[in-house]
Chains A and B, each alone.
Chain A
């Protein structure tokens, strides 16, 4: 009798120590549940939820990068919280408050540093990816000592970070060869860069400009050539349509030899040749595009929209350059993410409280996962991609 009690006690103790059967993380991901300050962990093989990790603070406009081992998610909260979440043990491993108002982050090429981009205090802060100890602080100083909001932070080959200064109209490249003393090179970009992307090969950085018709392109192989304007005058001087949500740029916009870039104040994506950086076309859409994301094979580009058209997702067939289908996944679609090889796309609908998993071949929904006001969806294969 006594022995069996001990046995039960022992097994309870063992169960209490969190043990996880050995597994990889290549098919895991997180869904931001913004109002709950929580991430839901998902499995993209079984297309199911694995649980959640709460206590992450204000997750409106939260974003995530992954450690290169795919085990840890770095969650950047709007309130300046930076949390390192263990996807296997499903817990917060470390957490720091690094700023007052933050908008996202990046991880260095070698995986040793995590960088956060901040609105307040405007600048970039760099942390040790293992411990989250501060490594360097880069205030975005311009004019007579003002601090600019920072947007469009991306990692670049050579352990560099590239980012844009919204208020200063500049692109900065920070070289972390000596991590505690980053060397900054500054480039004039144009009026009000609102976001930026680095191409999947890590060569070109592009900042979208809110304040003018066109985008700023920096060739990181030849930074001495400076920033070049591309798609100048794409609005043709026409009155801009109102923009109820700023588009987001990222390397996913590149499909094959073309990039699909949301126009500002126009209901279209601009198609640009990534060899010549000339416009090759534009595709009319039903609203202001926010995300234009290529399926990994580049055959489709899925587009989400700003209010009041955000119940739609349009799927562009890149071969014909036409919208193949308009989907209605739910109210307030905020984000979508492809599985690593693109057989499914996961789409979040904030106001319907669900994530819908689509078969990208048939464009039919396969399953819906309940989620509390879901926004961003992030899968671990981002860990191996430049610019994510």
Chain B
């Protein structure tokens, strides 16, 4: 319960089968994992992020993330969403909607980590 996987940015979409597309995809994947490795999230920071999600995201999405004025963020409600688009929504908000941008408070790696946790069932604050 208290062990967290190493941060991993979402895999780059491999849209084609030509060797050059594949090479580009592999290169991007490598770059992303390097970025993830470089900015690994420390356990104390993870605990802060968990509290932030439960409390502050929770004020619209519910403390149990079952939804409020904002939609539910449980694994079953996110199953069909692309992790990249969830990360973008976290970082930059939704134009014309109520979702505010969190990029002043969270890095892209941290947003990715949140998406990953949300998709498998978000941990509770300790």
Contact = CB atoms under 8 A, between A and B. Distances in A.
A210 B94 CA distance: 14
A178 to B, nearest CB: 32
B63 A101 contact: no
A149 B66 CA distance: 14
B43 interface: no
Interface residue tally on B, bucketed by range:
10 to 19
A49 interface: no
Interface string B80-118: 000000000000010000101100010000000000000
B77 to A, nearest CB: 12
A119 B68 CA distance: 7
B64 A244 contact: no
A307 B105 CA distance: 11
B67 interface: yes
A48 to B, nearest CB: 27
Contact of A194 (B58, B69, B105): B69
A256 interface: no
Interface of A, helix, strand, loop or mixed by DSSP: loop
Interface residues of A, number: 27
B36 interface: no
A350 interface: yes
A34 B101 CA distance: 26
Contacts of A61: 59, 62-63, 68
A30 interface: no
Nearest to A195: B69
Interface of B: 55-56, 58-60, 62-64, 66-69, 93, 98, 100-101, 105, 125
Q: Which 9 A/B pairs are nearest by Cβ-Cβ distance?
A: A60-B63, A242-B100, A245-B59, A307-B56, A244-B100, A58-B64, A242-B101, A243-B100, A60-B58
Interface of A: 34-35, 58, 60-61, 78-79, 100-101, 103, 119-120, 149, 151, 166, 192, 194, 210, 242-246, 307-308, 332, 350
18 contacts: A34-B63, A58-B64, A60-B64, A61-B63, A78-B63, A100-B66, A101-B68, A119-B69, A192-B98, A194-B69, A210-B98, A242-B93, A243-B98, A244-B59, A245-B56, A246-B69, A246-B98, A350-B55
